[in-house]
Chain A
Amino acid sequence: MSQVIGKPINRVDGRDKVTGKAKYAAEFQVPDLAYGYVVSGTITKGKITRIDTSEALRLDGVLQVFTHENRPKLAWFDISYKDQDAPPGSPFRPLQDATIKYSGQPIALVVAETFEVARYAASLIRVEYKEESHETSLEANLHRARPQKHGVADLLKPPPPKPRGDFNKVYEESPVKMYGRYIHAAEHHNPMELFASTVVYEKGGKEPKLTIYDKTQGVTNSILYVSQVFDIPFKNIRVLSPYMGGGFGSGLRPQYQLFMAVMASLELKRSVRVTLTRQQMFTFGHRPATVQNVALSATADGAMNALYHDARGETSRFEDYTEIVTNWGGMIYPPENVTQDYKLVPLDVYTPLDMRAPGGVTGMSALEIAVDELAYELGMDPLELRLKNYTDLDHNTKKPFSSKELRECFRQGAERFGWSKRQFEPRSMKKGHNLIGWGMATGIWEANQMPARAEAALLVNGKLWVSSATADIGTGTYTIMTQIAADTLGVPVEDVLFKLGDTDFPVAPISGGSWTAATVGMAVHSACEAVGKSLLGLAKKLSGSPFKGAKWDDIEFADKQLRLKSDPSTAVSLQTLVDLNGGKAVRETSTGLPNALKQKDYARATHSAAFVEVMVDEELGTVKVTRAVSAIAAGRILNPKTARSQILGGMVWGISKALHEESILDHNIGRFMNHNLAEYHVSVNADIHDLDVIFVEEDDTIVNPLGIKGLGEIGIVAMPAAIANAIFHATGKRVRDLPITLDRLL
């Protein structure tokens, strides 16, 4: 195997993306399409006392205005509204009743013949409210923090382990210690593509049939939601999402435009498209604001002996969104006196939602700034401190890592960056009126694999078609699955077509948590192997077959042939074999399952080390990340080109989180004020300078036989802390809150 896995081939969907042919959810044209436009509420908490749609309805071209007063009857129980990423609680139901739960809540849908008329009509809806007082400030409500409610979500997001040792005593008695409080702003995912659903209504049959193009990170999740909420059997719904213009977690739950579009389509018996505005992209899940406390202590030689990490995260009043914020310290550092704690503060906001490295980048940003602070308390190089406290054990579970090449990340990253030339003292590396600072940090993320299914078919023309209902949200799924399929059956990538994002394909979970490469990769591998086994069966039927006594382990696939490992010249072409199949494709569906037995004795994670240089203008307080090196240990790299892009993207996100991103709540009105891309700052081209990615070698057959760990999150995790630490090194000013805007530096 392995002709093309590991090669930096171009994205197989590249041509479609650079020519405009790639179609996203709002781009499927269907005859007789009606346009929906969502009306957003203007208060944060209370009730709608009157909603007057009469003027809008009188407008020529308006088909209907849906509100809580005239919406159709829908599923009654909460369970019907639960999606694959639903936290414990009661999911938000659009247009349920007159109650307003958060600012920007959708309160009506105008449907019209054109987008322009729908948009105008939306401005004609008059609403009166009875307002109630609200609470949106995390910091003002910390006294209300309580433990998370428990549910199925705990499986993936376990609460922190129980305290061990005696933190208070050891911390008290230690010669060197630090304590810090870290406050992070809320953030919104803001993928470039607006959330949209195009629902195609099929007329004629007894029951309505819907084909739905949805912006989602999992078509299976969308079909489940639509089927349950609207009581339509699966056979009458098909959800497609061949391309998704960025997810970052925002598409892990069905968003309300899907509900709106389906509802309108069923009621009007017409095809309907609903696209949210950029402002409305701030009216569903977000990365929660958090307040964290970290305290660390060490012996005089730098051995860490006590660790305290707590976090308070916001959630909504109706669901308990949780993430793993405080467990990481116990996974990467060895002190035996550890207290980790995590609590939630319910507020009048929408339920937060997983956003790139949810919890991980939050917790590690605080922890890794804290470790830098401890290094300065010790007078010790920050990298040396991390090496001093290096461990191959996850100390939360006492399990060894299935693989952990973090030491190599430190070594290669430091060498590439030139860390050994660093001067320890802050403000020691001035350049004109600019202060130069070097900082570093560690990153960690879980290496998970879920069950998934895939189908592989060797067609009569010798082409290999493979499919799974997974997603490519820019991550490169199309390309790496093509590579895995090509290598498993020894065919060139040009002969492989991998298809995804369609509920007609075998089921796959939502694409998130860095698990898609391993999850779908193993399903594709397994389906192709099943085809291979059928091909071996056919090979045995050849007259005078040299494969008669051959077992699966005796053969291999290469150069479009099935051949004996012991004698590669004994070979038969795949075309010959498929010709024996009676004019039919050789088709198999198979499930990729994580090997729990093999995995259970190990902790599984990706690791990273980020090294960053910043330049801070002493007079203006402006910060520029002039260069950064990320060294990544993430198992086998399937495609170094797309993998590098994914890590570069994570690094850009790290810069953006550290310096720019902040959804600013006005607590008087309870609304995110900067709900647009002019005022919600994300990194632009001019913010990004010299970025360098290193993949260190890491072999791991415990995670899965292909050695895949996943790359979606690990690129961001270490970056914000490395930047904050570099800013301290440059300026001598320790900023613990993110983002580090210039007002925090002056």
Chain B
Amino acid sequence: MTLIAEAPPKDTYIPSLPPIHTVTLTVNGIEAQLQLAPWTSLLDALREYMDMTGTKKGCDHGQCGACTVLVDGKRINSCLTLAIMQEGKQITTIEGVAQMATDAPSGLHPIQKAFIDCDAFQCGYCTPGQICSAVGLLNEGQAKTTADVRELMSGNICRCGAYTNIVQAIEEVINQQAV
């Protein structure tokens, strides 16, 4: 049996590419001008065009949360948005979260510090996304119980299974803020 998976095109046209645009992104308070094809995701713009590899690619389909960044303080999957759509917005990545709130001696965001103290990661690959997501969760102010934290952090998969410690780290910061 011969199976033609995809029919060859009838003509031999020269495929064209979309024009490159100048895209201005504000990442961690710094404005950068990039030459990007319009189909470049925010995630790829950060990683491949700005060398900001703290933001991770785990699925590229909005299914794992590793690419979570904050846009105007709200957590989003940076793989599910195009860079060009984020012009004029304040983008915060893991490299910049400590600017939002800083634990004085360590120079880290309280969530970052709590993650270290609670050992809330193992391989570290989902960690930037977890931390940005946790900062977003604090901003939302919706998490009242442990069950809330677990539910609202479930968009961020941790394959190492550090969930127990992630919840502990976030609750420690929530409790500090409540004092």
List chain A residues, Cβ under 8 A from B78: none
The minimal Cβ–Cβ distance linking B28 to chain A, given in whole angstroms, is 11
With contact pairs A126-B6, A691-B164 given, residues A476 and B123 touching in the complex (Cβ less than 8 Å): no
For B122, give its contact among A49, A128, A649, A691 (CB under 8 Å). Answer: A649
Segment 1-28 of B: residues with Cβ below 8 Å from A: 1-9, 12, 14-15, 17
List chain A residues, Cβ under 8 A from B115: 14, 18
A55 and B12 contact, CB distance less than 8 A: yes
A677 and B58 contact, CB distance less than 8 A: yes
CA–CA, A61 to B35, complex, Å?
A: 15
Q: Does B76 contact A (CB under 8 A)?
A: no
With contact pairs A19-B95, A192-B56 given, residues A129 and B126 touching in the complex (Cβ less than 8 Å): no
Q: Which residue of B lies closest to A651 (CB)?
A: B161
Interface residues on B, range: 35 or more
B2 and A49 contact, CB distance less than 8 A: yes
A192 and B61 contact, CB distance less than 8 A: no
A18 and B5 contact, CB distance less than 8 A: no
Q: Does B112 contact A (CB under 8 A)?
A: yes
A676 and B124 contact, CB distance less than 8 A: no
A126 and B8 contact, CB distance less than 8 A: yes
The minimal Cβ–Cβ distance linking B102 to chain A, given in whole angstroms, is 12
B15 and A20 contact, CB distance less than 8 A: no
List chain B residues, Cβ under 8 A from A55: 9, 12, 15
B63 and A641 contact, CB distance less than 8 A: no
Q: Which residue of A lies closest to B126 (CB)?
A: A192
Segment 60-116 of A: residues with Cβ below 8 Å from B: 60-61, 114-116
A648 and B161 contact, CB distance less than 8 A: yes
B54 and A676 contact, CB distance less than 8 A: no
Q: Which residue of A lies closest to B153 (CB)?
A: A685
Segment 56-76 of B: residues with Cβ below 8 Å from A: 56-61, 63-64, 66
Q: Does B47 contact A (CB under 8 A)?
A: yes
A17 and B166 contact, CB distance less than 8 A: no
List chain A residues, Cβ under 8 A from B7: 126
Q: Which residue of A lies closest to B121 (CB)?
A: A17
List chain A residues, Cβ under 8 A from B150: 685-686, 688
Q: Does B158 contact A (CB under 8 A)?
A: yes
List chain B residues, Cβ under 8 A from A244: 123
List chain A residues, Cβ under 8 A from B95: 19-20
List chain A residues, Cβ under 8 A from B80: none
List chain A residues, Cβ under 8 A from B9: 55, 126
CA–CA, A120 to B121, complex, Å?
A: 35
B55 and A20 contact, CB distance less than 8 A: yes
List chain B residues, Cβ under 8 A from A60: 17
CA–CA, A228 to B95, complex, Å?
A: 40
Q: Does B174 contact A (CB under 8 A)?
A: no
Q: Which residue of A lies closest to B129 (CB)?
A: A192
Q: Does A646 contact B (CB under 8 A)?
A: yes
A676 and B59 contact, CB distance less than 8 A: yes
List chain A residues, Cβ under 8 A from B4: 128
List chain A residues, Cβ under 8 A from B94: 18-20
B166 and A652 contact, CB distance less than 8 A: no
List chain A residues, Cβ under 8 A from B39: 116, 120
For B54, give its contact among A20, A115, A678 (CB under 8 Å). Answer: A20
B161 and A650 contact, CB distance less than 8 A: yes
CA–CA, A301 to B19, complex, Å?
A: 80
Q: Does B117 contact A (CB under 8 A)?
A: yes
For B123, give its contact among A23, A27, A473, A684 (CB under 8 Å). Answer: A473
A130 and B1 contact, CB distance less than 8 A: yes
Q: Which residue of A lies closest to B39 (CB)?
A: A116
CA–CA, A49 to B17, complex, Å?
A: 29
Q: Which residue of A lies closest to B146 (CB)?
A: A689
The minimal Cβ–Cβ distance linking B12 to chain A, given in whole angstroms, is 7
The minimal Cβ–Cβ distance linking A729 to chain B, given in whole angstroms, is 24
List chain B residues, Cβ under 8 A from A688: 150, 161, 163-164
The minimal Cβ–Cβ distance linking B91 to chain A, given in whole angstroms, is 14
For B17, give its contact among A61, A473, A645, A676 (CB under 8 Å). Answer: A61
CA–CA, A23 to B55, complex, Å?
A: 11
The minimal Cβ–Cβ distance linking A378 to chain B, given in whole angstroms, is 35
CA–CA, A683 to B93, complex, Å?
A: 26
CA–CA, A686 to B156, complex, Å?
A: 10
Q: Does A24 contact B (CB under 8 A)?
A: yes
Q: Does A400 contact B (CB under 8 A)?
A: no
List chain A residues, Cβ under 8 A from B167: 685
What does the 1/0 interface line of A331-360 toward B look like (CB < 8 Å)?
A: 000000000000000000000000000000
CA–CA, A192 to B64, complex, Å?
A: 8
The minimal Cβ–Cβ distance linking A730 to chain B, given in whole angstroms, is 21
A42 and B5 contact, CB distance less than 8 A: yes
Q: Does A268 contact B (CB under 8 A)?
A: no
Q: Does B108 contact A (CB under 8 A)?
A: yes
Q: Which residue of B lies closest to A275 (CB)?
A: B57
Q: Does A6 contact B (CB under 8 A)?
A: no
What does the 1/0 interface line of A271-286 toward B look like (CB < 8 Å)?
A: 0000101100000000
A686 and B154 contact, CB distance less than 8 A: yes
B17 and A117 contact, CB distance less than 8 A: yes
Q: Which residue of B lies closest to A646 (CB)?
A: B122
List chain A residues, Cβ under 8 A from B2: 49, 128-131
Besides A11-B116, A246-B159, 12 more A-B contacts (Cβ < 8 Å) are A14-B119, A18-B115, A59-B14, A116-B37, A192-B125, A245-B124, A278-B58, A474-B123, A648-B162, A676-B61, A685-B154, A685-B166
Closest 5 CB pairs of A and B: A20-B54, A652-B161, A245-B125, A474-B123, A17-B124
- 16 residue pairs bridging A and B, Cβ less than 8 Å apart: A13-B124, A14-B119, A18-B112, A20-B55, A26-B47, A27-B47, A27-B53, A126-B9, A130-B2, A131-B3, A192-B126, A192-B160, A194-B57, A194-B58, A248-B159, A646-B122
Q: Residues of A at under 8 Å CB distance from B?
A: 10-11, 13-24, 26-27, 29, 42-43, 49, 52, 54-55, 58-61, 114-117, 120, 124, 126-131, 190-194, 243-248, 275, 277-278, 473-476, 641-642, 644-646, 648-653, 656, 676-678, 682-686, 688, 691
Q: Residues of B at under 8 Å CB distance from A?
A: 1-9, 12, 14-15, 17, 37, 39-40, 44, 47-48, 51-61, 63-64, 66, 93-95, 98, 108, 112-113, 115-117, 119, 121-128, 131, 147, 149-151, 153-167
